[in-house]
Amino acid sequence: MNKEKLKEYRRRAKELVAEMTLEEKVSQTIHGAAAIERLGIKSYNWWNEGLHGVARAGVATVFPQAIGLAATFDEDLLNQVADVISTEARAKFHLQQKCGDTDIYKGLTFWSPNVNIFRDPRWGRGHETFGEDPYLSSRMGVRFIEGLQGDDDNYLKVAACGKHFAVHSGPEEERHSFDAVVSKQDMFETYLPAFEACVKEGKVEAIMGAYNRTNGEPCCGSKTLLKDILRDFWGFEGHVVSDCWAIKDFHEHHKVTSSAVESVAMAMENGCDLNCGSLFLYLTEAVNRGMVSEERLNEAVENLMMTRLKLGVFDEQEKIPFNKITYKDNDTREHKELNFTASRKSFVLLKNKDNLLPLDKNKIKTIGIIGPNSNNRKALVGNYEGTASRYYTITEGIQDYLGEDVRVMVSEGCHLCRPKVSGLGQENDRISEVRGVCEESDVIIACMGLDSSLEGEEGDEGNEFASGDKPNLSLPGLQEEVLKEIYQSGKPVVLVILSGSALAVTWADEHIPAILEGWYPGAQGGRALASVLFGEYSPEGKLPVTFYRTSEELPDFRDYDMKGRTYRYMKQDALYPFGYGLSYTDITVSGVSLSQNTVVEGEAITVKAVLKNTGTMKGAETLQVYVKSCHPDTPNAQLKAFKKVELNPGEEKEVALTLSDRSFGLRDEKGDLVLFQGDYLVYTGTQQPDARSMELTGKVPECMTVTAADQVVLEACCI
């Protein structure tokens, strides 16, 4: 934003706060902020959600869940999706304000994106994130924020919020009392980079604290996180909001304070400006008792007024460029088509033996669709979702695509996780129907996986697993048993997994010829999937998480040490690796070059490569660059640059990517970012350079060596 405009907003914010009484100031620090009519301040509800579309406020475009958006490996697409979300936010806000509707989920402050690291596939909220890699999460997070907040010099389109700061990824059932103990090395190498990028590059307007403690301090009242790192080291200038009712956890569950007034004092004094909840009403008492300085309270309210000024809510409405957006700009045909594009770009083809896919509808008379996710709307949308004006389940999408040309037979197959579908039925009460569909069909689409009733947030309504975390990585209930029955029919089988996380589908990998991961693909999911299954488009997604072979190989869920976790630190072969995904066409990489073979502080290296579509079908591929230090006891090769490229058959394009000096830096035990002396391997290709990826694809990334002549501390740790 324009610097002079920011100065003006800060001046106006100070003037507004100077006119407020103590009670009025306190009334602005809770998410349901009161009106101050004498100052022209309307009531405002700060709580709004928009992980993959405007949520919980009626009809809006419901995009694929965040984990599916991450699988596109397409920064530009993320930016377009977020731009549509902010357009619909303004469209709905325009109508709501016109009608005097200031309810929850009706504001312009959106508590997204979630840039926590998906360190363990059992975590129920992992599908809200951009996956397990700090670099991918950083890039996706920054571009999503930029799309939400817009590029106007004077006003924010909406205000984005990076959450949950900072070390938060389960266990959900203990989040109100859990202490995530983490080393400085892991903190700055894994858990903080995406937040830092959101603050420094994305200029995110807000940061939300997490429920848990980190190294003994409750995150929403952590001096280390909120003051030392966020404000002082990164220079964050927006506002900090607590997670919802997290501050009462200080005294009720974390036991770091003994009363509500002590808890609000700890949160406010350590940098929390806004309380999702109502406990900050105790601030009046805290200030009067000298537990919180009025100067600090003034600062908090000024930060909040700054956000509202940036959104233009106090200005003459004709000055706001976004007020040209009206309700007719919500849920448009163009938005639905972008949703369709995002959905079909998110699908990851995991296996395709003998090129079973794409299917040729001209060679099929009857197709069977079997499984609990075949007609499950919940498996389209994940959580924090809006309401679509039209949903396409997998069954509906295939039925619409095939029309009357091919007979479509369907069966739920089994319940998603229980032993029977009908309450009074016997166990496995749909198995005869499964056999009948298999017998009559030429090919079977098996639709298995999860939905947000099985993986989600602690306290979510309808959680089958109580906390929202998964107990293991297996297909729940009778799904694998039904899948084996389908396989026994001898018919060609395509397994479509709808889930927000990795599943250990080891048996399926050994027996089922074609497997496709569909995530929670949004309201257009079935329509998009049909277009990919039948070859209108080639799959182009890549895994933003590792698929493991077993639940048993995972480290203790409660251990936040990164050793043995994710592709960056695991020693064993994955079932399906991070960065992996097949295509219907073949795109090759050649002509890889580096601008220099030395790593020097303050200098960047340019990586160039030529991608060529040598297949017969239009497709897209992600050029991926990984860096591995030859210094002992360092992580595996890590993603440091990527670019999505679309190519027609026979077409080739040269791509240039940049590696900064920080791309080669590693955190030591003190948390310092160190450029170690010695050699680094730079891998350039369409996958990570692990043995399993090479086994699955038959491709080997190009490897080049660069050298750092001296050991240099690129950045000293701030704590």
Q: Spot the catalytic one: 74, 83, 455, 621.
A: 455
448 forms beta bridges with 497
703 forms beta bridges with 683
Which of the 8 DSSP states describes residue 547?
B
Cα separation, 348 vs 220, whole angstroms: 37
Element (H, E) at 656: strand 652-659
Q: Which residue has the tokens 């998603």?
A: 416
Cα separation, 43 vs 56, whole angstroms: 20
349 forms beta bridges with 516, 582
Give the phi and the psi of residue 320 in degrees, each rounded to 5: -85, 115
Cα separation, 113 vs 131, whole angstroms: 12
User: What residues contact residue 4 under an 8 Å CB cut-off, 6+ apart?
Assistant: none
Cα separation, 32 vs 539, whole angstroms: 44
Give, in order, the Cα–Cα distances in Å from 338 to each of 80, 205, 683: 8, 26, 33
| 128 is annotated as an active-site residue | no
* Three-class DSSP category at 652: strand
How many C-beta atoms lie closer than 10 Å to residue 543's C-beta? 27
Task: Answer whether 562's CB lies under 8 Å from 186's CB.
Answer: yes
Cα separation, 378 vs 393, whole angstroms: 9
Task: Answer whether 657's CB lies under 8 Å from 677's CB.
Answer: no
Task: Answer whether 613's CB lies under 8 Å from 649's CB.
Answer: yes
Give, in order, the Cα–Cα distances in Å from 603 to each of 385, 598, 705: 43, 9, 16
Give, in order, the Cα–Cα distances in Å from 405 to each of 371, 443, 712: 23, 15, 66
User: What residues contact residue 421 under an 8 Å CB cut-off, 6+ apart?
Assistant: 412, 414, 415, 429, 430
| 232 is annotated as an active-site residue | no
- Alpha helices in 65-133, H assignment, sequence order: 66-71, 75-98
Q: How far is CA 717 from the centre of its chain?
A: 27
How many C-beta atoms lie closer than 10 Å to residue 59's C-beta? 15
Candidates 79, 189, 58; CA nearest to 134 is 189
* Pairing relationship of beta strands 348-352 and 514-517 according to DSSP bridges: antiparallel
Q: Spot the catalytic one: 217, 243, 429, 485.
A: 243
387 forms beta bridges with 59
User: What residues contact residue 660 under an 8 Å CB cut-off, 6+ apart?
Assistant: 604
Residue ranges of E strands in 453-586: 493-498, 514-517
Q: At how many degrees (to 10) do helices 479-488 and 431-440 cross?
A: 30
Candidates 458, 468, 556, 558; CA nearest to 180 is 558
Task: Answer whether 209's CB lies under 8 Å from 246's CB.
Answer: yes
Cα separation, 175 vs 367, whole angstroms: 45
Active site residues: 243, 455
